[in-house]
Each structure stands twice: as C-alpha cells, then as structure tokens.
Chains A and B, each alone.
Chain A
Amino acid sequence: METYTLIILLLAATIRVATPLLLAALAGMFSERSGVIALGLEGMMLGAAFASAAVAAVSGSAWLGLGAGIATGMALALLLAFACVTHRGNQVVAGMALNIMVAGLGPALALAWFDLGGQTPQLEGHGQRFLAITWPWAAAADKVPFPGRLYSQLLSGHNLIVYLAAVLVPLSAWVLYRTRFGLRLRAVGENPSAVDTAGISVTRLRYQAVMISGVLCGVAGTYLSTAASAGFVRDMTAGKGYLALAALIFGKWKPYPTLGACLLFAFTDALATRLQGVDLPLVGVIPVQFILALPYVLTVLLLAGFVGTAVPPSAIGVPYAKEK
C-alpha cells in the first residue's frame, strides 16, 4: 500500500516535470526536422516564462499571460529564423546568442519594471495561474485504491497545459506524417534542393517550422512561470531547453519516442528528488547528482552509437543557398 502510493506520487511528479520538456522537445522536433538546429529552445522558453509571468501579474489573467508567452516565443523564433534562414548565419551561434541574451534580458527587464531584484511579482492563485484541474468524481474514485487512485491522483489534478502537452504528441505526429505540410517539412530537412526543385519555398517552410517551435516554447515557458511555479525567477529554465534537445535526440527526432525520452528523463529527475538522502538497501545513498546527470550521459552514449543509433535529419545545420 505504501509503495503503491509512493509510485503514484513519483509518476505524477514525472508527468509534471515532463510537460515543459515535452513541449520544448516537440518544438525542437519541428525546427530540426526542417533542418534548423534547435539550440535556442532554452532562450525561447525563458523569454516566454518571463513575458507570461509579467503579463499575468499585471493583467491578472493567466490566459493573457499565455498569449504573451506565445507571442514572445514567436518573436524570438522570428529573430532566429531571420538570422539562420534569411541571412544564413551559423545556427549554433544564433541559438547560443539567443539563450545568453534572454538569460540577461528577463531579469534586467524584471528589475526595471517590478523592482523585485530580477523577479516578477508573486502570482495569486485566482485567475493569474493555471491551476490543477480536478476531474469529475475524482474524490469518489480516491476511496478505491486500485484503479480509483490512478484516476484521482495520476490522471486528474494537473493543470491545463499538462493535458495540452499530452494532446500535442499525437497531433504533432499527425502533422508530421499525415499532412502535406509535414511531408514537405521532413523533406526540407533531408534534401532542401529537391523541395526547391518541386517549386516549394525552402525559406517559407523553415520559417514556419521555426515559428511553430516558438509557439511551443512559448507554451512551455508559460507552464514554468504561471503553472509550475508562481512567477518568473532568474534562470528558471535551468537547462531544460538543452535537456529537451537531448530528449529529442534520444527520441530519434520522432514524436512518440521523444515522448518516451521526456518521460524517462523526467522520471530520473523525480526519482532524484525522492531519493535525496535516502539510504537504500544494498546500494546505500545514491548521490542525487549522478541521477541528474544520467540523461546527459545516456544521450552521449546514444550519440556515440553505444545505445542504438541516432541519425539526424541530413540537412540539419546547413543553410540553404538557392542556386543562381
């Protein structure tokens, strides 16, 4: 019974941690599948986290916050696309520049506007945040340990963005594999000149892909500052953009495996929190840092070809120059 409750709590924590990772990883998937390296996920997420928390605090509406988060994500994505697609700049440099710039810009603007040492004001529960949604009959189901508690504590009780992220996985898969846009997107990441020859604009497709990643990062950032916590703090993405990139690689640039990777990485995170200082039989205390480093180690091993293989889209990172 005790173990059962513990497992449910652990899995529920996994879902909460996985949500921003998943949104960012899907964002990265659209960008990278079109041939644009997604190193700017961290910056787009962080920018959106700031904008949504600031707007939610001023306007009192989480929905306006979400709008601001998405708008900021898109604006930063536009900047990335302008540098990488229009001006054929180095995509790695552009992503790093964006991440560094936003890491400074968020706290700088927060200090100037709110005077709280680089944070946004604490968001109140009512309307300013996306709060947990309790599903119907959850209270009744809670009385039945199995399967009732799976329903009441694992499925019910998350905020709207968590469910949105869950829906976005099949939706992304559908867009990528079942629509004309998805086919072209995948083609432009593999062989842009073929797409160009077919009379389809490479520039336009890549802009669209990067903008989609901006929207998704916008939602991810909003989740961090207005759903998972109550306001923006310095560096609140804490490397999640890079971890999402690792998850995307681990998921071999495909929607469902990426979901799996995000859940795995989130599970290690949730486990690390649980196991902090716990003396396990036989192994003793496992250092939290080792568990937290596990996703990165696994990704390196995968990239090295020791754990399966990861084949990136072949045109990734290469700016497309139309032949004259």
Chain B
Amino acid sequence: MSVRAKLPRWAELGLLPAINLIAALLLSGAIIKLIGESPWAALKLMADGAFGSQESIGYTFYYATNFIFTGLAVAVAYHAGLFNIGAEGQAYIGGLGTGLVCLWLGAWPFWAVLPLAILAGALFGAAWAFIPAWLQARRGSHIVITTIMFNFIASALMTWLLVNVLIRPGQQSPESREFAPNAFMPGLHTLLGKIGIPFTSTPLNLAFLLALAAAALVWVLLWRTHWGYALRVAGQNPAAAVYAGILPPRVTLWAMLLSGALAGSLGLNELMGSQHRILLDFPGGAGFVGIAVALMGRNHPVGIFLAAVLFGALVQGGSQLSFDMPHVNRDMVVVIQGLVILFCGALENVFRVPLTRILTRKELGR
C-alpha cells in the first residue's frame, strides 16, 4: 500500500459524500433529459412528493425504516471487514420468523407478541447469516459469493413455503392469511394522536422508532464496547488483531450474526407495520439498497439514518414522479440508487484523490 494522505474529517464525512451524491444526481438528471423530461421539474416533483405533505413524509420515513435496518446490517459487517450482500435473503427469512410469530400468537396481546416477533425476526435473520459466516470463518469460503447464493436459496425456500405451506386455503396468490389485529404494529399517527399531536394516517409505524433504537444500539456496540472495538480492529487489520488477542474468525461469526439480526428486523416494519401478512418478495430489494445506504452513510449510524431518509425520499418521490410524468417510471429510482452506489462506492477515488491533494496541499502551504 502506498502512503496516502488522509482527508480531514469534515471532508471525509460531509464534503466527499455530497460531491458523490451530486455527481450521481447530475448523471440521473442527464438520463431524465435524455428521456425528454426536464430534470429540474423532476427534482421538484420528487422533493414535493417526498416531503410536501404529512402523508408523503409518513411514506418517506416508512420506506426509510426498511433501509435503516438493512443499511445497519451492511455497515456492521463492513466494520468487521466483511461484505454482506445477503441482507436481502436475511431480511426475507427474518421476516418469516416475525410473520410466523404473528400468525401463531396473534391472539396474544400486542405487548407479548412484539418482543417475540422482534426476537424471532432477529433469530431467523441471524441464522440465515450464520451459515455463510461459519463457512467464511472456518472453511474460508468467500462470503460475497456465499451470501449471494443464500439470497437465491432464501428466495426458493420462501416461494416453496408460501406456495405450499403458508398459503391461505382457497386462495390463488401465494401469501399467508392476514395477521390478527393484535399483531399489527401501531401506526405512528395513533401513537402521536395519543399524546395530542395530529398526524395523517400513513404506513409509518412503531418500527421506525425500533429502527432508531437499533441504530443507537449499533453505535453503542461498535464504538463503546470492547466487543465493538475488537470487531473494528479485526476488520481493519486482521493480522494486528491476532497479536492483540482477538480471534478474527470469531469476530466474523458475531458480526454476521448481528448483521443478519438487523436485516431480519425488516419484517417488523414491512410485515407487522404495513402488509399484515407474509407475501412473496416483500423485502423488494431493500437488502441491496442497504449497500447504497451504508456506503453513502459512511457506515456510521447517523450517516445511515440520513442516507436511509434520502433513499426513502427517492422511493416515495419516485412514485409521485411516475404519476406526474408518464414517461418516467419508478425504475428511474433504481437507476439513481445504482448511480449512488457507483459514485459513493466504486468510483469514490475519482473525487477522493484530487480532493485530498487540494485540501492537504493547502494545509502544507500554511
């Protein structure tokens, strides 16, 4: 490795992600222009669609909740030096755990269902992450490839379960019966209503607060415990970690378990909060958006929250956009997500290197 000057903290956390985001948005604008619509009008429509009313804000944060969970999942693995592409599958299987609890124990009161649903989601998600983690730690199988394979295996397994086992009798579409109302996550508008703040009814629900709690928990675990310190050391320099008495294979296992548990919590928002049943492909790519969110948020819980809100706004604003511009559909949002991953992840050195040169030269001159 060549010796490389480091960016100042404010540039690393603020300026560089902003430049990358602007580059991605500029290119997206060029594509919208190519399609024959005005990028500026599209941006205004999206911003209005995402934040223009209480309803749109509710939807934006509802989508963001999924992305906080998956973004945290990717970030935890990243800090341990692992690339978890399997958040999608872990979210799928985790949601199965949450869904099963809701189906079986729906007659129980909500305060009893909730902890069990959280636990089941985390356990199922962690279990699905455990196998690739164990294979990486003990047999050296590349975790990127195994987690990709596990996404497909999860998808096949869930299709089979939904088509053959969980399907509501006498129904064609492969989805389970609806949960009992006891197992519904209370909407945030009801909670706000109880403390006297009126808010429009949206799918935004208690799971949003759970996601924030998860973000806080990740922060404490990673930056305020020995366990988190060991995890980050093993991620940055496994050789040094060994000399410090840290066992990297064990860190791999624990990091992936936490990562899978976080991804597995997506069902709390998506299933308990909104769909109220288990259905095909409910993660809907949130596991992959999690990669973009983690990259954009610099793998820090605060950054992940901000990036998740940004991506939630993109999804919500994008659906508004597809209503108002007949030639732009929701796929445009996927393009923007891809471009953000490209610029914040794969092409980050394009701006990092010149920026470092400019900023450090200034300091040296002083």
Q: Which residues of A contact B (CB under 8 A)?
A: 37, 39, 82-84, 87-94, 96-109, 111-112, 115, 118, 234, 239, 242-243, 245-246, 249, 287, 289-290, 292-293, 296-297, 299-300, 303-305, 312, 321, 323-324
CB closest chain-A residue, reference B138: A304
Q: B195 on the interface (CB 8 Å rule)?
A: no
Q: B209 on the interface (CB 8 Å rule)?
A: no
CB closest chain-B residue, reference A83: B346
CB closest chain-B residue, reference A323: B2
- Set B85, B331, B347: member contacting A104, Cβ < 8 A: B331
- Subset of 10 A-B contacts with CB under 8 Å: A39-B144, A87-B349, A100-B337, A111-B327, A118-B329, A293-B153, A293-B156, A300-B141, A303-B146, A304-B141
CB closest chain-B residue, reference A239: B152
A-chain residues with CB within 8 Å of residue B349 when the two chains form the complex: 87-89
Chain B min CB distance to A220 (Å): 18
Q: Are A96 and B159 in contact (CB under 8 A)?
A: no
Q: How far is B329's CA from A115's CA once the two chains are assembled, in angstroms? A: 11
A242-B148, A300-B141, A300-B149 given; A97·B342 CB < 8 A: yes
Q: How far is B149's CA from A153's CA once the two chains are assembled, in angstroms? A: 34
A-chain residues with CB within 8 Å of residue B148 when the two chains form the complex: 242, 245
Q: How far is B329's CA from A234's CA once the two chains are assembled, in angstroms? A: 12
Q: How far is B145's CA from A246's CA once the two chains are assembled, in angstroms? A: 8
With a 10 A CB-CB cut-off, give which of B144, B153, B346 has the most chain A CB atoms. B346
Chain B min CB distance to A179 (Å): 29
CB closest chain-A residue, reference B343: A97
B-chain residues with CB within 8 Å of residue A304 when the two chains form the complex: 135, 139, 141
Q: How far is B165's CA from A287's CA once the two chains are assembled, in angstroms? A: 12
A93-B295, A101-B342, A245-B145 given; A83·B157 CB < 8 A: no
Q: Are B328 and A287 in contact (CB under 8 A)?
A: no
A-chain residues with CB within 8 Å of residue B337 when the two chains form the complex: 100-101, 104
CB closest chain-B residue, reference A305: B139
Secondary structure of the B contact surface, majority rule: helix
Q: Are B160 and A92 in contact (CB under 8 A)?
A: no
CB closest chain-B residue, reference A324: B2
Q: Are A289 and B156 in contact (CB under 8 A)?
A: yes
Chain B min CB distance to A274 (Å): 17
B-chain residues with CB within 8 Å of residue A112 when the two chains form the complex: 34-36, 327-328
A97-B345, A108-B332 given; A292·B338 CB < 8 A: no
Q: B333 on the interface (CB 8 Å rule)?
A: yes
Chain B min CB distance to A119 (Å): 12
Chain A min CB distance to B5 (Å): 14
Q: B350 on the interface (CB 8 Å rule)?
A: yes
A93-B341, A112-B327, A304-B139 given; A246·B149 CB < 8 A: yes
Q: How far is B141's CA from A90's CA once the two chains are assembled, in angstroms? A: 19
Q: How far is B293's CA from A146's CA once the two chains are assembled, in angstroms? A: 59
A-chain residues with CB within 8 Å of residue B139 when the two chains form the complex: 303-305
B-chain residues with CB within 8 Å of residue A98 when the two chains form the complex: 338, 342
A-chain residues with CB within 8 Å of residue B140 when the two chains form the complex: 305
A-chain residues with CB within 8 Å of residue B153 when the two chains form the complex: 293, 296-297, 300
Q: Are B346 and A84 in contact (CB under 8 A)?
A: yes
Q: Are B1 and A321 in contact (CB under 8 A)?
A: yes
A-chain residues with CB within 8 Å of residue B291 when the two chains form the complex: 93, 96
Q: B130 on the interface (CB 8 Å rule)?
A: no
Q: Are A87 and B350 in contact (CB under 8 A)?
A: yes
Q: Are B150 and A289 in contact (CB under 8 A)?
A: no
A-chain residues with CB within 8 Å of residue B208 when the two chains form the complex: none
Q: Are A292 and B347 in contact (CB under 8 A)?
A: no
Query: Known contacts A111-B331, A296-B150; can you find 15 more A-B pairs with CB under 8 A?
Result: A90-B345, A93-B345, A97-B339, A97-B345, A98-B342, A101-B341, A104-B336, A105-B331, A106-B331, A108-B335, A112-B328, A245-B148, A296-B152, A321-B2, A323-B2
A94-B346, A98-B342, A303-B142 given; A104·B2 CB < 8 A: no
Chain B min CB distance to A254 (Å): 17
Q: How far is B224's CA from A200's CA once the two chains are assembled, in angstroms? A: 49
CB within 8 Å of A: which B163-206 residues: 163-164
Q: Are B331 and A118 in contact (CB under 8 A)?
A: yes
Q: B48 on the interface (CB 8 Å rule)?
A: no
Q: Are B348 and A312 in contact (CB under 8 A)?
A: no
Q: How far is B328's CA from A118's CA once the two chains are assembled, in angstroms? A: 10
- Set A90, A94, A100, A305: member contacting B288, Cβ < 8 A: A100
CB within 8 Å of A: which B107-144 residues: 131-132, 135, 139-142, 144
The 6 closest A-B pairs by CB, nearest first: A101-B338, A104-B334, A94-B346, A93-B345, A293-B156, A100-B338
B-chain residues with CB within 8 Å of residue A100 when the two chains form the complex: 288, 292, 334, 337-338, 341
Q: Are B341 and A299 in contact (CB under 8 A)?
A: no
Q: Are B135 and A303 in contact (CB under 8 A)?
A: yes
Q: Are A105 and B2 in contact (CB under 8 A)?
A: no
- Set A87, A96, A289: member contacting B341, Cβ < 8 A: A96
With a 10 A CB-CB cut-off, give which of A91, A94, A103, A104 has the most chain B CB atoms. A104
CB closest chain-B residue, reference A287: B160
A-chain residues with CB within 8 Å of residue B339 when the two chains form the complex: 97, 101
Chain A min CB distance to B129 (Å): 13
A-chain residues with CB within 8 Å of residue B132 when the two chains form the complex: 300
